[in-house]
């Protein structure tokens, strides 16, 4: 079966963002659009020829079609073997697990993560390198450059592969192995956490939980691990069937989009523990009875208690957080005497630190937490870590977090998202802030004295690469901060994210509502950035 050369012309809009190329499905359905990007991967990643490639995605609409296209193109580009998840399914952390376990040349992951799915919604594609993590900027820029000059792609004429049957087949001269998408990942989780102790917690008769898979990819993973392997009662996993449109919901595990789950934890009869993951399985939300754990606090608590889990019993060597994430983990690192790194937003920035052995745990405020077990954030891993912690400490979620605050202090934290705003207006707003930066240090804004003001830049301590203009930071004396950043995960318009943080050491004040505690800083942020005047928004669309 000889490769077929198909003439094409470049598209100008295929620069990958922080998590790959994300567009509306209708954009990907354009003739040659997906093919151009995939060919650019093969053209720039020469090691894939003669090697092994992993392919899988979150099961959203267009996932199966894209998978078949990639398989044909992989055969035409002389890939020796492809490991593909049954049904075209692999959660993002599971894809990283498979890439690492079988030492493949990398993987193509089909996902738009927490974005909605369906014919009129979003789709995405990204390349993960042989270490298992998202491609670094040097690779994504090379792929993008190739998309700007591409003149042809290569494919083969062949019937579709049966993606629903486990086993091996051939496509041209290439071997295609359809694998169980859950097994390798579940085995890895069993090596990290104390499943028998968690089983005892479930069987104590004193503990009730639910995991909301949001009709997304983690349903099969959670059912296999929580219900089948650990022994949680059937029905612990809700919305567990992956659907191409996520059941019409928004697969983003936060207080705004998982209200059904949040309601289950409320009141005297509320669940003891609840958790959710997102479209591709790399995010998590943690809830206790009448209690929400912010992602920033979750990272800090896990860092402080890592030794409770068998896979981390010897402690951790370091921790990293994205710049907008609260500084709660910094305080833990300081007390533990380990390094703490502040990186730009985007999981790829943790990859070098993990590969170099400088950190064990890492996380982002956008509901992502992970460790050196894979090279992606991992939603179900974080849930299992919390279950291990609850089983070991025999305390409630609320008590564990409150004890943590008493020891380290509390970083009050919130994120305000202004979604789907005019892209130019949002860019102008950030440019306005950049103009103000030189005059802000030493200035008093309300009751706060500005200590520093900058546009965050990061120099990778491993390879020396530099990333500029990663978000406007305004820091105040005493540790409070306001951060402004344009998000790179949407598909239309722009999203302005405003992060507000204040440190409080007095335990008497730890029970305040964050929106109340941070209200003075919230007003300062809105006025300084002229948000209502520039964006036409009096209030944010989402508050987390």
> For 395-445, how does the pLDDT look when each residue is reduced to its tens digit (9 = 90+)?
999 999 999 999 999 999 999 999 999 999 999 999 999 999 999 999 999
Q: Is the pLDDT of residue 364 over 80?
A: yes
Is 480 annotated in the active site? Answer: no
Structure tokens at 348: 């790829």
Tell me the per-residue pLDDT of 22-46, one tens digit each, with 9 for 90 and over: 999 999 999 999 999 999 999 999 9
Short-list 102, 122, 134, 35, CA closest to 349: 134
Which of 96, 113, 296, 366 is catalytic? The answer is 113
Q: What is the mean pLDDT of residues 336-363?
A: 95
At 493 the pLDDT is 79
149 contact partners, CB below 8 Å, separation of at least 6: 10
Q: How far apart are CA 454 and CA 473, in angstroms?
A: 5
CA atoms lying within 13 Å on the CB side of residue 268: 0
Given pLDDT bands bounded at 50, 70 and 90, which one contains residue 66?
very high
At 17 the pLDDT is 83
CATH 3.30.360.10 fits 4-180, yes or no: no
At 492 the pLDDT is 64
Short-list 423, 440, 526, 522, CA closest to 477: 440
Element (H, E) at 82: strand 81-89
516 contact partners, CB below 8 Å, separation of at least 6: none
Q: How far apart are CA 282 and CA 218, in angstroms?
A: 9
CATH 3.40.640.10 fits 185-408, yes or no: no
At 491 the pLDDT is 53
Q: Cα 338 to chain center, whole Å?
A: 24
At 194 the pLDDT is 98
Q: What is the DSSP letter of 185?
A: H
On the question of a common fold for 185-408 and 410-543, the answer reads: no
* Average pLDDT, rounded, for the chain: 96
Tell me the per-residue pLDDT of 99-134, one tens digit each, with 9 for 90 and over: 999 999 999 999 999 999 999 999 999 999 999 999
Short-list 535, 496, 543, 486, CA closest to 516: 543
Tell me the per-residue pLDDT of 489-512, one tens digit each, with 9 for 90 and over: 555 679 999 999 999 999 999 999
Q: How far apart are CA 133 and CA 96, in angstroms?
A: 6
Using alpha carbons, list the distances in angstroms from residue 246 to 21, 60, 111, 241.
20, 7, 13, 9
Q: How far apart are CA 510 and CA 254, in angstroms?
A: 22
Tell me the per-residue pLDDT of 206-220, one tens digit each, with 9 for 90 and over: 999 999 999 999 999
Tell me the per-residue pLDDT of 175-208, one tens digit each, with 9 for 90 and over: 999 999 999 999 999 999 999 999 999 999 999 9
Angle, CA of 130, 116 and 106, to the nearest 5°:
5
Phi first, then psi: give them for residue 198, nearest 5 degrees.
-65, -35
What would be the CATH architecture of the domain defined by 410-543?
2-Layer Sandwich (3.30)
pTM of the complete model: 0.94
Name beta bridge partners: 129.
none
Using alpha carbons, list the distances in angstroms from residue 338 to 42, 332, 360, 431, 531.
40, 9, 10, 36, 39
Q: Is the pLDDT of residue 379 over 80?
A: yes
Break the chain into its structural domains and give their ranges. 4-180, 185-408, 410-543
């Amino acid at each position: 079966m000889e490769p077929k050369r198909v003439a094409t012309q470049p598209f100008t809009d295929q620069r990958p963002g922080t998590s790959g190329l994300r567009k509306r499905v209708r954009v990907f359905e354009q003739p040659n659009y997906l093919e151009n990007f995939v060919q650019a991967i093969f053209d720039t990643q020469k090691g894939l020829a003669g090697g092994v490639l992993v392919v899988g995605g979150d099961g959203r609409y267009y996932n199966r079609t894209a998978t078949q296209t990639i398989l044909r193109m992989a055969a035409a580009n002389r890939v020796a073997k492809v490991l593909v998840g049954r049904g075209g399914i692999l959660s993002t952390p599971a894809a990283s697990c498979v890439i690492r376990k079988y030492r493949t040349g990398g993987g193509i992951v089909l996902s738009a993560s927490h974005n909605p799915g369906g014919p009129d919604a979003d789709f995405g594609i990204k390349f993960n390198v042989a270490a298992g993590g998202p491609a670094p900027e040097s690779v994504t820029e090379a792929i993008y450059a190739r998309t700007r000059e591409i003149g042809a792609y290569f494919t083969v004429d062949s019937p579709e592969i049966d993606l629903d049957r486990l086993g091996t087949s051939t496509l041209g001269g290439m071997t295609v192995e359809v694998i169980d998408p859950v097994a390798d990942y579940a085995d890895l989780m069993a090596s990290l956490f104390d499943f028998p102790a968690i089983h005892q917690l479930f069987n104590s008769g004193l503990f009730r939980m639910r995991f909301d898979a949001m009709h997304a990819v983690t349903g099969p993973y959670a059912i296999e691990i929580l219900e089948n392997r650990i022994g949680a009662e059937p029905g612990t996993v809700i919305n567990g069937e992956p659907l191409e449109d996520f059941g019409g919901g928004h697969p983003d595990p936060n207080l705004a989009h998982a209200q059904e789950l949040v309601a289950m934890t409320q009141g005297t009869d509320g669940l003891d523990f609840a958790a959710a993951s997102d479209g591709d399985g790399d995010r998590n939300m943690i809830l206790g009875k009448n209690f929400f754990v912010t992602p920033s606090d979750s990272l800090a608590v896990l860092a402080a208690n890592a030794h409770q889990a068998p896979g981390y019993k010897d402690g951790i060597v370091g921790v990293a957080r994205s710049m907008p994430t609260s500084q709660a983990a910094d305080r833990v690192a300081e007390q533990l005497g380990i390094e703490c790194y502040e990186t730009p937003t985007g999981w790829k920035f943790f990859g070098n630190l993990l590969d170099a052995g400088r950190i064990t745990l890492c996380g982002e405020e956008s509901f992502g937490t992970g460790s050196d077990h894979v090279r992606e954030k991992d939603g179900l891993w974080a849930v299992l870590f919390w279950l291990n912690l609850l089983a070991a400490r025999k305390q409630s979620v609320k008590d564990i977090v409150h004890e943590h605050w008493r020891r380290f202090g509390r970083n009050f934290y919130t994120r305000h998202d202004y979604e789907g705003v005019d892209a130019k207006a949002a860019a102008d707003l950030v440019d306005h802030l950049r103009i103000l930066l030189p005059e802000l240090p030493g200035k008093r804004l309300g009751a706060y004295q500005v200590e520093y003001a900058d546009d965050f830049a990061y120099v990778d301590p491993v390879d020396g690469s530099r990333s500029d203009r990663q978000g406007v930071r305004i820091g105040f004396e005493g540790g409070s901060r306001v951060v402004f950043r344009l998000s790179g995960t949407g598909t239309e318009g722009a999203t302005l994210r405003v992060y507000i943080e204040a440190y409080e050491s007095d335990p008497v004040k730890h029970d305040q509502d964050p929106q109340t505690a941070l209200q003075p800083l919230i007003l300062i942020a809105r006025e300084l950035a002229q948000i209502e005047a520039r964006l036409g928004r009096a209030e944010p669309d989402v508050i987390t």
